[in-house]
Structure 1
Amino acid sequence: MTKLSQGYPGKTFFEYGGDIVGKWLSALISLFFIGHFVMIGAFEARIMAEVIGFFLLEGTPLWAIIMTTIWVTFYAIKDGMGSIARLAEIIFPITVIIFLTIVFLSSSIFELDNLRPVLGKGIMPVFKGTKATVLSFISAEVMVFLLAFMKKPEKGVKVVVVGLTISLVFYLIIVIFVIGTLSVDGVVTRTWPTLDLMRSFEIPGLIFERFETFLLVIWIMQLFATFSISYFTASLGLSQLFGKNISPVMFGLLPLMYLIAMTPKNLNHVFAFGDVVGRIAVILFGLVPIPLLLISKMKKKKAKT
C-alpha cells in the first residue's frame, strides 16, 4: 500500500485510483475502502462505550456514550489531519510510560511456568490463532491516504515498518505478561484480561492503589485515536470521491456510524463484528493493493517506452 501511494505523491488512493484501473472500478474499490473505515470506526466507538460503561460509568446507556464520543471526535477532526497528528503525538509518550509501568509492576507476580510448554502442541495451533490478531494490526491501511499528508513520503516504508514493529513489541510483551501472570486457563475465562492483570496486584501506601485506572485512560485514548483516524479517512474518501466539501460529509456519517455501532445486541456480537471487520480488511488491504501496484508499474513502464 505504501509503495503504491509513493508513486502518486500528494494524492490519496481516492484521487489516483482512476489512473490505475479507470474511473468506475476505482470508485467501486474506494467505496469498499470507505465502507471498511466506517465499520472499523463504528466498532471502535462501540468497544469504547462498552469499556467506559463497564468500568467507569456503570448504568449509563450505551447510546449516550457513543453519541458523546462521536460528537467529540467530530470536533477533534473537523480541522483536518493536523489535529489528528497532534493527538497522536500526545498519546504516544503517555502510552509508553504507562506501558512500562504495567510491565514493571506486574513482574513481581509473573510466573514463567505459566508460559510452558512453548509450542507444546506444535506450530499449527499458532497459525490458527493468528486469525484473532488480525484486528489488532489493520490500522496500517491508513497508508492509502496518509502518505499524501507526509512531508517526506519517500520514508513511508520505514514509517510503516517502525510503526508495526512498535505495535508488535507492545502486544508481544503484554501477551507474555498477561499469560505469565494469569495463566492460559485464567485468560480464556476473562473478557478484559489485561485490565484483570492490573487488578491482580496493589502496592499499599502509594497515592494510587488501583492501577487499572491508568490502563483505562490510555486504552480509551487509543480507541479514540483509532476512531478519529477511521472517521476522518471515511469522510475524506467520500468528499474526494464525489467532489464535495468534507464538513457536510462528516455530518452525514454521524448517524450512519451511530446506527452501525448500536447494531450488535451484546458484547459477544461486538466481538463477532470485529472478527468480520478483520477478515474483510485482509482481503481489501492485504490482497487488493498487490494487483493495483503491479498494474501501476506496468502502466508507468509502458508510458516510458
Structure 2
Amino acid sequence: MIRSQDKISTSQAIVVFVSYTMAAGILSLPRTGVEATGTPDVWLAVIFGAIIAAVSGIILTKLSQEYPEKTFFQYGEHIIGKWLCILISLLFIEHFVTIAAFEARIMAEMIGFYLLRKTPQWAIIMVMMWVGFYSMKDGMGSITRLFEIIFPITVIIFITAIFMSVGIFELDNLRPVLGKGIMPVLKGTESTTLSFISAEVMVFLIAFMKKPEKGVNVVLIGISITMLIYLATVVFVIGALSVEGVTGRTWPTIDLMRSFEISGLAFERFESLFLVIWIMQLFATFTISYYTASLGLSQLFSKKNRPFMYGLLPVMYLISMYPKNLNSVFSLGDYVGYVAAVLFGVIPIPLLIISKMRKIREKTSEKYS
C-alpha cells in the first residue's frame, strides 16, 4: 500500500510528469531536429512528436487506472502471469536505470565543459548520485515537494532567457514553411518523439495520485507544457542561429544564451544561470528514474526499498562512465529513446487489451456464478 505521506495531488503529479520529461533533450533538440528534417520545420515535428507521446501516455494511464494504488510491478502479474511480469518489469527497471545514468553523464559533460573544466567526471557524477539518494530516501512525498520548488524557478528562468534573444531573432530563418513538403517533417518526428520521454512515468505515478481518475489530465497537461517549452526552444534557437548555424553546434540552446547580453542587468550573460537551472532539471529526471528503478525492484521482490537504492548506485555509476566520448553519450541517449518507444509505446497496447478482456471475463464469471 502507498503511504499517506506519499500521496500527491493532481497538480503535483503534473509537476513530477513535466520534471521527468524536460531533461537533456531540450539542450540538443534543435540540432537533432534540424539534422533529421534538413529544414526549419522542426517546430511541426515537435507538435507531431508531442501527439505521439500523448497517445502513448494515455494508453499507459488507462492501463494503470485499472489497478488503483498499484504500480505495474505489482499489477503486471494479474495480467500476464508471474514470470512474464518479472521479465517485462526487469526491462522497465533496466530502462529507468539507464536513463538515470545517462542524465548523470550529460550533467557531468555540461558542467565539465562550461562550469568546472578541471573537475573529473567521476566526481561530478558521484556527487549527483548521492544527492539524489538523499533527496528520495524518504519517498515520493519528499521528491514531489523538492520538484515543486525547482519547477517554477526553471520555467521562469527559461522563459526569461529565451525571450531575451528576441533582439537577434530573424523570422526569415524559419521560412519557408513546408518548403520541401511534409516528408522531412515526418522524418524529424522520430527525433522529436524521442525527446518526449515521459509516458513511462505513468507506470508508477498513477499509484501515488489522490485522484487517479485525473491521470489523463496529467498526461495531456504535462505534454502540453513540455511541448510549448520545446516549441519555444526550437523556434528561437533556429530563428536566431539559422538552420546552418544550428547543425554545427553540440548544445545549440546554450549557444543561443551565449549569443546575446543585456547590459545593466544583474546577469548580463544568461548561459551560466541557465546552466545552473537546467542542471536542477537534469537532476529531477535522474531522481525520478532512480526512485522508480529502486521502487520497482523492491515491489517485484517484496523487499524494503532502501537496500535497492544503495545497490543501484554502483550500477548507475558504471553505466554513466561507460561511454568513452560525447558521441558515445549521444548514442546512449538514442538507445534510451528507442527502447522507450518499444517498452512504453508498443508493449502497453496488448497489455491493456488483455487487461480489459480479463476484466470482462471476471465480470461474466461473477454474473453466472
The corresponding residue for 1:236 is 295
Matched ranges for 1:288-303 at <5 A:
288-303=347-362
User: Within 2, Cα distance between the matches of 1:134 and 1:239?
Assistant: 31
User: Within 2, Cα distance between the matches of 1:46 and 1:214?
Assistant: 20
- Deviation per CA, 1:101-147: give whole Å up to 9, x if none: 12321111110011111221111111111222233211221110111
Amino acid at match of 1:64: A
Matched ranges for 1:197-236 at <5 A:
197-236=256-295
Query: Pick from 214, 236, 244: which aligns with 1:185?
Result: 244
Which shifted more, 145-154 or 101-110? 101-110
The answer on whether the counterparts of 1:134 and 1:279 sit within 8 Å (CA) in structure 2 is no
User: Within 2, Cα distance between the matches of 1:281 and 1:122?
Assistant: 29
**How many equivalent pairs are there?**
305
The corresponding residue for 2:222 is 163
The answer on whether the counterparts of 2:174 and 2:235 sit within 8 Å (CA) in structure 1 is yes
Q: Give TM-score, length-normalised by structure 2.
A: 0.81
Matched ranges for 1:239-258 at <5 A:
239-258=298-317
Query: Pick from 129, 150, 153: which aligns with 2:188?
Result: 129
Q: CA shift at 1:71, angstroms?
A: 0.8
Q: Find runs of 4+ consecutive structure 1 residues off by over 3 angstroms.
A: none
The answer on whether the counterparts of 2:97 and 2:290 sit within 8 Å (CA) in structure 1 is yes
The answer on whether the counterparts of 2:194 and 2:341 sit within 8 Å (CA) in structure 1 is no
User: Within 2, Cα distance between the matches of 1:184 and 1:94?
Assistant: 30
Q: CA shift at 1:255, angstroms?
A: 0.3
- Residue 196 of structure 2 aligns to a residue in which SS? helix
Q: CA shift at 1:206, angstroms?
A: 1.8
- Deviation per CA, 1:172-210: give whole Å up to 9, x if none: 111000000000111110011111111111112222112
- Deviation per CA, 1:147-168: give whole Å up to 9, x if none: 1100010000001110011000
Q: Unpaired runs of 5+ in structure 2?
A: 1-59, 365-369
User: Within 2, Cα distance between the matches of 1:155 and 1:10?
Assistant: 14
Q: CA shift at 1:86, angstroms?
A: 1.0
User: Within 2, Cα distance between the matches of 1:85 and 1:140?
Assistant: 18
The corresponding residue for 1:59 is 118
The corresponding residue for 2:104 is 45
The corresponding residue for 1:138 is 197
Q: Unpaired runs of 5+ in structure 1?
A: none
Q: CA RMSD in A?
A: 0.9
The corresponding residue for 1:284 is 343
The corresponding residue for 2:162 is 103
Percent identity (aligned): 72
Q: Give TM-score, length-normalised by structure 1.
A: 0.98
Amino acid at match of 1:190: R
